[in-house]
Structure 1
Amino acid sequence: MGRAVLIGVVSDSHDNIYAIRKVAELFKRAGASLVIHAGDWVSPFSAKAFREALGQDVRILGVWGNNEGERLYFQKVSSQFGVEILGDAGSVEIGGVKIGVYHGTSPIIVESMVKSGLFDVVVYGHTHKLDVRRDGRTLVLNPGELCGYLTGRSTAVMLETDGLRAEVVEL
């Protein structure tokens, strides 16, 4: 593995700008160098809010959820703010750790990613339910819902690449 990196992991922000700003400030204070969003940002102003709260030094990337209706416009706006959209699914390698990201609308695709052996970490969302577990050598992370609309809990995960340690944070 490479050098230790701290990564903020969120999903299902659903335009909750208050929660976006709050979690971004938490990630920034903690020293995160990357934020991964597993989809259901909903509107491009969510990407803008993340960038404004995190500043220019933190990389932001994510995937589409099932609630981004204006994908072309979202892609254009988010790229203006330096937010990378990987498509419906994607991967990133950071700190020597290979991370697969998918919104999670198809449970069979999530489990296929987990069982594939291609990723050290699989990040997904969609269910609005926390899921932090190991499956063999793969760490599986669903940070729950950032928005807090369905469960009443606004949650995220802090991932340390050194030792693949995940800590659930509640706003």
Structure 2
Amino acid sequence: MLIGICSDSHDHIENTKIAANYFKSRNIGQLIHAGDYCSPFIIPLFEGLPLHGVFGNNDGDKFTLMKKFDAIDATLHGDFFSFSEDGLKFAVYHGTHEEITRSLEKSGTYDVVISGHTHEAGVETIGDTISINPGSVNGFDGDAMMALFDTGSKEVKFKEIDQL
């Protein structure tokens, strides 16, 4: 299965539209957003995608964010969630506290840990765990980025939004 991964939209409408349209064109099985949508008005841009997300440290109006997720038949899981897909166990956490992110990565409980927060796209293998940060959809402090993860090959591909 192909999983789309993004984080840190920070209200950037144009980049979020580009990212959402790209994920739709790839026919992904799931879209994971690791938080920092910021304002609830950004959520409808993900309509039609199998969206699952967590809160980030800049998400203020959590009640309305949850309502917007419900309105597009998506799931906002709170600060953390885990799921299994194709025999792999995933953890999703925004990454606000590096100690928590590192603990998830080192626990040996998860095959894949997805986080955002730093706005720095990267993949790292820690023991047997693949740690993925898709970077920032907003791109205000660097390149606007997102990622795709293939559960079969365990390959991560980063996509620069400006080049789509």
The normalised TM-score by structure 2 is: 0.94
Identity %: 37
Q: How big is the shift at 1:39?
A: 0.4
Selected match of 2:54 from 50, 57, 63:
63
| Corresponding residue number in structure 1 for 2:22 | 26
How far 1:11 sits from its partner (Å)?
0.5
- Cα distance in 2 for partners of 1:95, 1:48 equals 28
2:147 to 154, 157, 169: 157
The answer to whether the aligner puts 1:136 opposite 2:119 as a matched pair is: no
Name 1:93's counterpart in structure 2: 84
Deviations 1:45-75 (A, max 9, x none): 2111111xxx2xx310010001111111211
**In the alignment, structure 1 residue 48 sits paired with structure 2 residue 44:** yes
CA–CA distance in structure 2, aligned partners of residues 78 and 15 of structure 1: 15
Q: CA RMSD in A?
A: 1.0
TM-score by length of 1: 0.90
Structure 1 CA distance, aligned partners of 2:85 and 2:18? 24
Matched, 1:119 2:110: yes
Q: By how many angstroms is 1:95 displaced?
A: 2.2
Q: Classify the secondary structure of the residue corresponding to 1:27.
A: helix
Give the Cα separation in 2 of the matches to 1:148 and 1:29: 22
- Deviations 1:49-105, CA, capped at 9 Å, x for gaps: 111xxx2xx310010001111111211221111121111111121222211000001
Given candidates 6, 13, 17, the residue that maps to 1:17 is 13
Runs (5+) with no aligned partner, structure 1 = none
How far, CA to CA, are the matches of 2:72 and 2:134 in structure 1?
24
Q: Residue 79 of structure 1: SS of its match in structure 2?
A: helix
Partners of 2:23 and 2:140 in 1: CA distance? 21
Runs of 4+ in structure 1 deviating by more than 4 angstroms, as ranges, are none
Question: Which amino acid in 1 is paired with 2:153?
Answer: G
Q: Distance in 2 between matches of 1:136 and 1:162?
A: 19
Q: Could you tell me how far apart the structure 1 residues matched to 2:63 and 2:24 are?
A: 29
| Contact 1:156–1:168 (Cα < 8 Å) also in 2 | yes
Give the aligned partner of residue 63 of structure 2. 72
